[in-house]
Amino acid sequence: MNTHSEKFELKARLELALTASEKASDLIMQYYQSPDLKVDRKSDDSPVTIADRGAEELLRKEITLAFPEDSILGEELPPVEGTNEFKWILDPIDGTKPFTQGVPLFGTLMGLEENGKLVLGVCRFPALNEVVYAIKGEGAWWKIRDQEPRRAQVSDKSQLSESVFCTTTMTRWETIGKQKAYEYFCRNSYLARGWGDCYGHMLVATGRAEVMIDPTLSPWDAAALLPILEEAGGHWIDFDGNPSIYTGNGLAVNAALKDEVLKIIAQ
């Protein structure tokens, strides 16, 4: 595929992702803060709701109608094997626990691989009416409500003592043997907060936080994040410093703090 046609293919899929994720948001918000919302438990004891399943079904339907040859991997439904080089990786509600608690810090994630490389990401926050998105080589963008999209850019802070550190869950640090690193970040950051899941990663992408670390995660938790962070001038990497979504952990960090953060985690 030549460069011109490749960009056309990616931009067409970005438009699809923005439209589909907005439709999914409308569906999700029908259930948000509903007193009648039923929460089920999956085999790993994580929560799932009709909103999770319905949103993923909607996303898959929109993708299949527009790009029937694309593969699809999602959190809630079986994978679909396509016939071309594109694979969507979906998380209909990243942050189901906040969603079920009526907290607005959850998002709909759509990542796209081309020949195994992540090239597109969309992260939409239904309850906040915000979306952050990127395709490779075109920068990252942040749209708030009805405002015009603005460039998403990581901060240039180079001192941990001036930086905001976020994480999704505290107990998993101990589970993976990294409790000392967690305590170090808490003690030495300007501000440490549990603004977790995709929200914390997008805080880094938009320059509102500097470090967001997930001790454990799945590919669908991360696929949309990697291209956005890279296009915003930062990094989405695993604990070994590799830009991979398949190693079970990951972090978002600005360029200036990357090496220091990896050193702390490695201790």
User: In this prediction, what percent of the chain has a pLDDT beyond 90?
Assistant: 94
Q: List the structure tokens of 169.
A: 């869950």
Q: For residues 134 and 183, what is the distance between their CA atoms, to the nearest angstrom?
A: 33
Note if the pTM is more than 0.85. yes
Q: Where are the beta strands (DSSP E) in 115-238?
A: 117-125, 130-135, 140-144, 150-151, 164-167, 191-193, 211-214, 235-237
What CATH fold (topology level) applies to the domain 3-151? Fructose-1,6-Bisphosphatase; Chain A, domain 1 (3.30.540)
What average pLDDT does range 115-140 have in this prediction?
98
Average pLDDT of the chain is 96
What would the pLDDT profile of 177-197 be if each residue is shown by its tens digit?
Answer: 999 999 999 999 999 999 999
What would the pLDDT profile of 31-53 be if each residue is shown by its tens digit?
Answer: 999 999 999 999 888 999 999 99
Max Cα–Cα distance, the chain, nearest Å: 52
Supply the pLDDT for residue 7: 85
Supply the pLDDT for residue 44: 86
Extents of the domains making up the chain: 3-151, 160-266
Q: For residues 260 and 266, what is the distance between their CA atoms, to the nearest angstrom?
A: 10
Neighbours of 147 (CB within 10 A): 9
Supply the pLDDT for residue 18: 98
Choose which CATH entry (3.40.190.80, 3.90.1150.10, 3.40.1360.10, 3.20.20.210) describes domain 160-266.
3.40.190.80
Supply the pLDDT for residue 4: 66
